[in-house]
Amino acid sequence: MNDIPEIKAEELKEKCAQFRAGDKLLLTGTVFTARDAAHKRFMALLDEGKELPFELRDAVIYYAGPTPAPEGRPIGSCGPTTSGRMDRFASRLLDLGLGAMVGKGERSQEVRDAIVRNKALYLCAVGGAGALACNCIRSCEVIAFDDLGCESVKRLYVERFPLVVADDCFGGDIFSEGRAKYKK
């Protein structure tokens, strides 16, 4: 993985134009976990004019609900959740400055349009490899909605987390491009 670029999570949005759908990268820095239940609460907070539990501008949200940490580890298994379940929330968060999302699976056209409009990225992690993904996580802290258990919002620090650019800021999409190549 020496030829795969390593990028800091905090710089991902400003450097999104360097990446195209299908590119690989190693992500290092702070990411926040959030799944369906947390996203519903995000929307309620925004509707009430309140702030989210973390600075959204340029942030990276990882759609994951990690398992409890075993002895001596910061986190348990931490694989990606199907991203399409967050599609009804994603465009609004992107329009408010979200830099990137990490998950698995295809996104709706509405979300893909919001990625382009906001110069953001959607990255895919390997599904079914949560036990391996946790090896990239150096720290984990619950920062909001503790009552949601595994779906609470967590601040993770990841090092060299391997990801694939699924949707780039130019409209490239590995899912539709892959299907088109297959049909040829």
Contact 125, 133 (CB under 8 A): yes
User: In order of start, what are the domains of the chain with their CATH numbers?
Assistant: 6-183 (3.20.130.10)
Residue 8 structure tokens: 């800091």
Q: Buried b / exposed e across 105-136, counting CB within 10 Å, b at 16+?
A: ebbeeebbebbbebebbbbbbeeebbeebbeb
Task: Write out pLDDT tens, residues 44-92.
Answer: 999 999 999 999 999 999 999 898 888 989 998 888 999 999 999 999 9
By percentage, how much of the chain surpasses pLDDT 70? 94
Q: Tell me which of 52-56, 84-88, 131-135, 144-148 is least confident.
A: 131-135
Spatial distance between the Cα atoms of 68 and 62, rounded to a whole number of angstroms = 17
- Bridge pairing between strands 24-33 and 153-167: antiparallel
pLDDT for residue 67: 87
Return the axis-axis angle of helices 87-95 and 36-47, rounded to nearest 10°. Answer: 50
Is the pLDDT at 170 greater than 80, yes or no?
A: yes
- pTM for the structure as a whole: 0.94
Rounded to whole angstroms, the Cα distance separating 137 from 170 reads: 30
Please measure the distance between the N-terminal and C-terminal CA atoms of the chain and give it in whole angstroms. Answer: 30
Structure tokens at 141: 């802290």
